[in-house]
Amino acid sequence: MSTTSADNVTVATLEIPDGVLHYEVRGQGPLVALVAAPMDAGAFAPLADLLAADHTVLTTDPRGIGRSRLHDPERDSTPQLRADDVLRLLAHLDAGPAAVLGSSGGAVTVLALAQAHPEGVHTVIAHEPPLIDLVDDRDELRAREDDMIATYRAGDRLGAGRKFLASANIELPEEAVQAMFGGEPDPQAVADERFQYLHMLSGTTRFQPNVAALRAGPTRVVVGIGEQSTGQLCDRTSRALATALGVAPTMFPGGHIGFVEDPAAFAARLREVLAQG
């Protein structure tokens, strides 16, 4: 393990059996972990800074992404493996059980964590998990995802990006699409994108949560949805999950990445949700 500290943020690594995890810790108080996939720890930094006023906040790069390196970079990243990683980090910090917020693929990670390791988490907030097998058009969505990955494999990252947005029912201006998927990204972004398409995406979207275990378990499970996500795929999948769990969805400010769009509003809402537990 290596550790450095700057600006009240402890930046460290933790060795795991098949690689090394990058993680960051801020603040003091009850432990809250912020987990994404494929986004790295940097996406949560503004939110983490705000929460650190009264919480110990853990953020991490998911395995195979950014600074979290695998000995075998071609190994698939499953929600179960990522859940094990989060549990290792929580145990390493020895400050749990924790509250955990997962976003997008990270929301699937924290559901896997709650059903496999409920002793490590007292509250799990799954914010917009893209669980396509929970909706009626799952077969079409699987086919579109397979086509998207094939397009990426063929070297058309812009075409794959357009298909991703279409499948997710996310509309963006053309300049935003070009900024996201056009041009020449830096080498780390290229590596992360490749890992996401080839080793993370399908295993995440096709994860099937054990609804009975989640309903019966001791962990409080909250299903979060962005107020501006109406009509998008993750709005549908999240509502389907909430229905299966027998809970009402919990609304958060913004859209799919509301914590990036308005960290202050998202932090205020997250505090409210945590206080209800």
Q: Is 55 part of any domain? A: yes
HEC readout, 132-145: HHHCCCHHHHHHHH
Q: Is 188 part of any domain? A: no
* Tens of each residue's pLDDT in the chain, 277 residues: 555 555 789 999 999 999 999 999 999 999 999 999 999 999 999 999 999 999 999 999 999 999 999 999 999 999 999 999 999 999 999 987 999 999 999 999 999 999 999 999 999 999 999 999 999 999 999 999 999 999 999 999 999 999 999 999 999 899 889 988 988 889 999 999 999 999 999 999 999 999 999 999 999 999 999 999 999 999 999 999 999 999 999 999 999 999 999 999 999 999 999 999 7
Q: Is 166 part of any domain? A: no
Query: CA geometry: angle at 94 spanning 212 and 69, to 5°?
Result: 80
- Provide the pLDDT for residue 185: 86
Cα–Cα dist 144/205, whole Å: 12
Q: Is 198 part of any domain? A: no
**Structural tokens at position 50:** 């705000």
Q: What domain count does the chain have? A: 1
Q: What is the pTM of this model?
A: 0.95
Q: Could you tell me the residue range of the domain that residue 129 belongs to? A: 3-135+206-275
CATH number for the domain that contains residue 217: 3.40.50.1820
Q: Is 58 part of any domain? A: yes
List strand residue ranges (DSSP E) for the chain, in order: 3-6, 9-16, 19-26, 31-37, 56-60, 69-70, 98-104, 121-127, 220-226, 250-252
